[in-house]
Each structure stands twice: as structure tokens, then as C-alpha cells.
A and B are shown apart, each in its own frame.
Chain A
């Protein structure tokens, strides 16, 4: 059975304090890994797709990387508006999509 584990469950940062969120996965044949951002009271918003180990994607202060076992979402010099829950999801060879439990990020000014 596919498993997706995100850590930590919650992360508190000071504004400007860079850090990384982790998404570890065990899937039968990775076809794609997705990162989403979810603000309170809203649906998830798509950020990135990564397809193969070694791939990297960037958007503003966010950078996603992928290895054969995990993905990292690096946040450089975060701002309070980066506070949200970040979700990762993996699509396996059978086209089953499995979501992780999310990391709740809080950035204090």
C-alpha cells in the first residue's frame, strides 16, 4: 500500500528564517509528485509537479526537490503570508493519487 508521510506536522518560523518541509513516500512506481498550499477555510492550491528524481522547481520563495524516496519544499526567507498548510501527493504507476497529512507552517513577523 502506498504511503505518504509529511514532516513535521507543524513548523513555526520567524520571518526570514529559512527551512524545509519533508514529504517521504513509498509508492509502486512514482509517476508524479504534487505540492499544494492550503489556506484556512480554502481548498488546496496547486504549486508544483515533479516527475523524476533530481528534478527541481521554483516559485518565488519556494523550491521543491525530488529524490527517489522523498521530496523537500524549501522555503527561503519566509514571510507571514507564506503561513499555510502544505500538502504533498504522489501518483503511482496505477494512477492512484495518495495525499500526505500536510505540514502546517506558521511564520511570525
Chain B
């Protein structure tokens, strides 16, 4: 089974802090994704990566950046956290980039105060 591991289940940060969310997958998938999940808004794509050092913006990239230095690891960076970035963040990976099932981690619930 694919395992996608997010390093933190819960994080509490202050406004203006730089925040790193880490994600590791163990199935040698080329493709990795970062989503945020908010009540009433569903899952929204922030960024995705189809190869090491390659990244593409999703639907809501503002305020975020990503890093993919190794194939198995995909990091989401909040350069200066704001309260409207309080959310559940989900990392996912897939074997095929498009039209393919996503394998999700268990999420990081981030609270920015």
C-alpha cells in the first residue's frame, strides 16, 4: 500500500511566522500535490509537482510556495503565515499525473493565531 506521511498532525503558529509542512511518500510516485480542506469549500489544490525540482501552481497558490528536492519529499511553505491560512492541509501522491487516484496523507491541521 502507498503510504503518504505528513510530519505533523497539528501545528499552531503565530501570524507572520514562516511555516514548513513536510510530506513523504514511499511508493516512488512522480507526482505530488498539496491541497487545503475547508468546511463548505471542499478540497482546493495549492501546488503540485510532477518531478524533482518541478512545480506548478494550482487553484490557490497565493501566499504559498513549495520545494521538491527529492522525489519522495514535497514541502509546503507559508512564507508569512496569516490567519486566513488556518486550515487542514493534505498532501497526496499519484502514479499518473492526471485522471488518476490520489493517495492522501492524514493531514496537518494548522492554526495561525
Q: In the complex, what residues of B have CB within 8 A of residue A100's CB?
A: 42
Q: A41-B106, A42-B106 known; A97 and B101 CB under 8 Å?
A: no
Contact of B102 with A by CB under 8 A: yes
Contact of A64 with B by CB under 8 A: no
Number of residues in B with C-beta < 8 Å to the partner?
A: 20
Task: Establish whether residues A91 and B98, one from each chain, have CB atoms under 8 Å apart when the complex forms.
Answer: yes
Once the chains are docked, how many angstroms separate the CA of A43 from the CA of B23? Answer: 13
Task: Establish whether residues B99 and A101, one from each chain, have CB atoms under 8 Å apart when the complex forms.
Answer: no
Task: Establish whether residues B98 and A102, one from each chain, have CB atoms under 8 Å apart when the complex forms.
Answer: no
Interface residues of A in 2-59 (CB under 8 A from B): 4, 31-32, 34, 41-46, 49
Q: A43-B4, A46-B101 known; A99 and B106 CB under 8 Å?
A: no
- List the A residue with the shortest CB-CB distance to B91: A43
B62-76 vs A, Cβ < 8 Å mask (1 yes, 0 no): 000000000000000
Q: A41-B106, A42-B106, A43-B105 known; A99 and B43 CB under 8 Å?
A: yes
User: Size class of A's contact patch?
Assistant: 20 to 34
Interface residues of A in 50-109 (CB under 8 A from B): 87, 89, 91, 95, 97, 99-102
Once the chains are docked, how many angstroms separate the CA of A8 from the CA of B39? Answer: 15
Q: In the complex, what residues of A have CB within 8 A of residue B42's CB?
A: 4, 87, 99-102
Q: A87-B43, A99-B43, A100-B42 known; A43 and B106 CB under 8 Å?
A: yes
Once the chains are docked, how many angstroms separate the CA of A42 from the CA of B104? Answer: 9
A-B contact pairs, 20 of them (CB 8 A): A31-B99, A34-B102, A41-B107, A42-B107, A43-B105, A44-B43, A44-B102, A44-B104, A45-B104, A49-B101, A87-B42, A87-B43, A91-B98, A95-B99, A97-B45, A99-B42, A99-B44, A100-B42, A101-B42, A102-B42
